[in-house]
Chain A
Amino acid sequence: MAKVQLKNLQKRFNDVKVLHGIDLDIQHGEFVVLVGESGCGKSTLLRLLAGLEEISDGELLIDDVVVNHQPPAKRGIAMVFQSYALYPHMSVFKNMAFGLKIAGASKADMQKKVEEAARKLKIDHLLHRLPRELSGGQRQRVAIGRAIVRDPKVFLFDEPLSNLDASLRVQTRVELGKLHQELGATIVYVTHDQVEAMTLGDKIVVMNGGRIEQCGAPLSLYHHPKTLFVAQFIGSPKMNVLAGQVQQASATGVSVMLECGVLAEVAVDGSQLQSGDPVSLGIRPEHLSLGTELPTCFAGEVTLTEELGEATYVYTSNGAGQDLVLKVDGHEEIAVHSQIRFGFKAGMAHLFDKDGMALPRLLKS
């Protein structure tokens, strides 16, 4: 367990700036999930924390000690790589014990720690095998085990589950969650998977182009994204966005004339807005519902349906740039090419100004 503080952390590769000043506080035992588009610098940030890359500027503190120039082992971190990176010529036991052995642990101590970790991860029957004799999921667990035995202050995970198949992924995800509770360790976790981010994280950090776009609890990011980028990034399928102009704005609501010709009512604080301002309206697929009685209503032709069983994603278009996805109950029968009408309640939508900044939502709660 440890507290990690990042103060204006920067990274340049030669002249290319990859991280532009990251400020982040990670509490004792917190599970922080880093998300962001490919190439936005998540792995780089993790490698800075681990000490595998030199920090170009700024300060990194672990438990209030500046560790900028400490080698990885001194920082008390353990990293689990996407590719597992097990030592191929060593048995599972040796893989897990290697770090301990180098650190000068006694044989009995080593045995005890490795066996304990192996039991936790349910790989105790595999200890004598070589990595190449294991399945992907088992290798993954060995990699995690190798991190656990060293009893690090901070765990760093770089997309640890992305090589696993769907069911194993869910299983390992649940196990990771349990493990976090059991160990109470501080964890920084990179993922591309929405569900992993939402379920595992105490805090999600959304990165964009080497900067932190927003950071907060999963649900607060979902309900109150600060920017259009975050709004579109969190949630799957991603939020529908429609361009429009403010027609009437007040502190209790805004009416927006959308480019597709629909007048939309949005429950946000619009005291900053003038009528005529360009805005973007965001509405999540799960907040659009079928019907004609809603305050804001659309009509469109179904172009595609994705039936997942419990829910169906319906892709619609009105042929004039209004392409919307809605999530409906799996029992609804919707034919492709049929015309449907749907809409949303004023409280469900998000509104962003021309810079992509969200306007404060007026949720009833």
Chain B
Amino acid sequence: MKALFFDRSQPATGGWQRGAQTGKALAVHAVLLTYTVIALFPILLVLINSLKSRKAIFRDPLGLPSLDTLNLGGFEQVLLRSDFGLYACNSLVVTILAVGLVLLLGAMAAWALTEYRFRGNLLLAFLFAMGIMIPIRLGTVSILNLMVQLHLVNTLTALVLVYIAQGLPLAVYILSEFIRTIPKELKEAARCDGISEYKIFFAVILPLLRPAMATVAVFTMIPIWNDLWFPLILAPGEESRTITLGVQQFVGQYVTDWNAVLSSLTLAIVPVLVLYLIFSRQLIRGLTAGAVK
């Protein structure tokens, strides 16, 4: 931390200037730290309480687990006496499929909408923009009807389809903006090289979209992983439950097994954290450096 402060203030020469710079850096760090603490606090609370006995959770919710309050019963309950593995698997399958398809279809749609002029181009772009503004949950009843008619209720397919619809508009929007920044000479050079339009998209454009796709992936992934609404409505069956829904079985009308709830929430953080790490590695800037001067 100390090194950071001094790095920031190095260019300044005058004493008061250095003071001002350090002050500014301090303020910025203070704000960011506060935010981090606020954001991480609930997660920390879940983590520490998942390790405590039920009594200890209620007696001292903020306390760290000590030797006599340490209790792994929640994890035991979740891992051994429920279908947590199945739920996690369902969540992962749905999230990965949905994110993957959102990325692929989003990039393709964005490319088509920005690169080619065709009839209805503007209308399509407008419809996608509407998709960003109107929450998909407004259409829950019709979606349920549709899924019933398609016999897709209680399948993961239903969830994947809905999440694609949910994630696509923003993906198309972000990726279009990004595609516009790719110099057109690059596509033209490829065309002169005799490369087909498909190949241009997959071999030239898609690799350049990686940072933007990683952003989109993170934005798309979190709401899908955390969603309770659509799993509850479209796939509440035992076989197709996702984690968030699975956790609910420990929340009873009269008694809630807090140990189990907190343990399963703790476990649910892990896969999404891994996914996030994978995507964020792709968030490397300056990938286009060197293409054009």
Residues of A within 8 A of B (CB): 47, 50-52, 71-74, 77-79, 81-89, 98-99, 102-103, 130-134, 136, 139, 146, 150, 163
Contact status A85-B208, CB under 8 Å: no
When distances are taken between beta carbons in the complex, the residues of chain A under 8 Å from B189 are 79, 81, 85-87, 146
Contact of B194 among A73, A85, A132 (CB under 8 A): A73
Contact status B195-A102, CB under 8 Å: yes
Contact status B193-A130, CB under 8 Å: no
User: 10 interchain pairs (CB within 8 A)?
Assistant: A73-B191, A74-B194, A81-B189, A85-B186, A85-B188, A86-B189, A88-B288, A132-B289, A132-B290, A150-B193
A166 to B122, CA, bound (A): 46
A8 to B193, CA, bound (A): 27
A51 to B196, CA, bound (A): 14
Q: Given A52-B188, A79-B188, A102-B199, check contact A85 B193 (CB 8 Å).
A: no
Q: Given A87-B204, A89-B208, check contact A73 B192 (CB 8 Å).
A: yes
A139 to B199, CA, bound (A): 23
* Binary flags per residue of B178-192, CB closer than 8 Å to A gives 1, else 0: 000001011011111
Does B292 make an interface contact (CB < 8 A)? yes
Contact status A81-B199, CB under 8 Å: no
B290 → A minimal CB distance (Å): 3
A82 to B288, CA, bound (A): 16
Contact status B191-A85, CB under 8 Å: no
When distances are taken between beta carbons in the complex, the residues of chain A under 8 Å from B293 are 83-84, 136, 139, 163
* Binary flags per residue of B269-293, CB closer than 8 Å to A gives 1, else 0: 0000000000000000011111111
A50 to B293, CA, bound (A): 22
Q: Interface size of B by Cβ–Cβ distance < 8 Å?
A: 25
Contact status A72-B194, CB under 8 Å: yes
When distances are taken between beta carbons in the complex, the residues of chain A under 8 Å from B199 are 102
Contact status A88-B192, CB under 8 Å: no
A188 → B minimal CB distance (Å): 13
Number of inter-chain CB pairs below 8 Å:
91
Contact status A72-B204, CB under 8 Å: no
When distances are taken between beta carbons in the complex, the residues of chain B under 8 Å from A73 are 191-195
A107 → B minimal CB distance (Å): 17
Does B207 make an interface contact (CB < 8 A)? yes
Q: Which residue of B lies closest to A98 (CB)?
A: B193
Which of A51, A74, A86, A88 has the largest count of B CB atoms less than 10 A from its CB? A88
Contact status B290-A81, CB under 8 Å: no
A81 to B293, CA, bound (A): 11
Q: Which residue of B lies closest to A143 (CB)?
A: B189
Which of B190, B199, B204, B290 has the largest count of A CB atoms less than 10 A from its CB? B290
Given A83-B292, A86-B292, 12 more contacts at CB 8 Å? A52-B188, A52-B191, A79-B188, A79-B192, A83-B185, A84-B292, A85-B186, A88-B208, A88-B291, A99-B193, A130-B290, A133-B290
A83 to B288, CA, bound (A): 13
Contact status B191-A71, CB under 8 Å: yes
Contact status A87-B186, CB under 8 Å: yes
When distances are taken between beta carbons in the complex, the residues of chain A under 8 Å from B188 are 47, 50, 52, 72, 79, 81, 85
B243 → A minimal CB distance (Å): 36
* Binary flags per residue of B213-256, CB closer than 8 Å to A gives 1, else 0: 00000000000000000000000000000000000000000000
A48 → B minimal CB distance (Å): 13
When distances are taken between beta carbons in the complex, the residues of chain A under 8 Å from B195 are 73, 98-99, 102
B285 → A minimal CB distance (Å): 12
Q: Given A83-B185, A83-B293, A102-B199, check contact A89 B287 (CB 8 Å).
A: yes
A51 to B199, CA, bound (A): 18
Contact status B185-A89, CB under 8 Å: no
A163 to B192, CA, bound (A): 22
Q: Which residue of A lies closest to B186 (CB)?
A: A85
A93 to B241, CA, bound (A): 50
Contact status B183-A85, CB under 8 Å: yes
When distances are taken between beta carbons in the complex, the residues of chain B under 8 Å from A71 are 191
A317 to B212, CA, bound (A): 59
A82 to B183, CA, bound (A): 12
Q: Which residue of A lies closest to B286 (CB)?
A: A132
When distances are taken between beta carbons in the complex, the residues of chain A under 8 Å from B183 are 83, 85
Contact status B194-A103, CB under 8 Å: yes
Which of A77, A79, A136 has the largest count of B CB atoms less than 10 A from its CB? A79
Q: Which residue of A lies closest to B293 (CB)?
A: A163
Contact status A88-B289, CB under 8 Å: yes
When distances are taken between beta carbons in the complex, the residues of chain B under 8 Å from A82 are 185
When distances are taken between beta carbons in the complex, the residues of chain B under 8 Å from A74 are 194
When distances are taken between beta carbons in the complex, the residues of chain B under 8 Å from A130 are 290
Contact status B194-A81, CB under 8 Å: no
Which of B191, B192, B288 has the largest count of A CB atoms less than 10 A from its CB? B192
Contact status A131-B185, CB under 8 Å: no
When distances are taken between beta carbons in the complex, the residues of chain A under 8 Å from B292 are 81, 83-86
The 10 A-B residue pairs with the shortest CB-CB distance, nearest first, are A132-B290, A73-B194, A99-B193, A83-B292, A131-B290, A85-B185, A88-B291, A85-B189, A132-B289, A89-B207
A73 to B286, CA, bound (A): 30
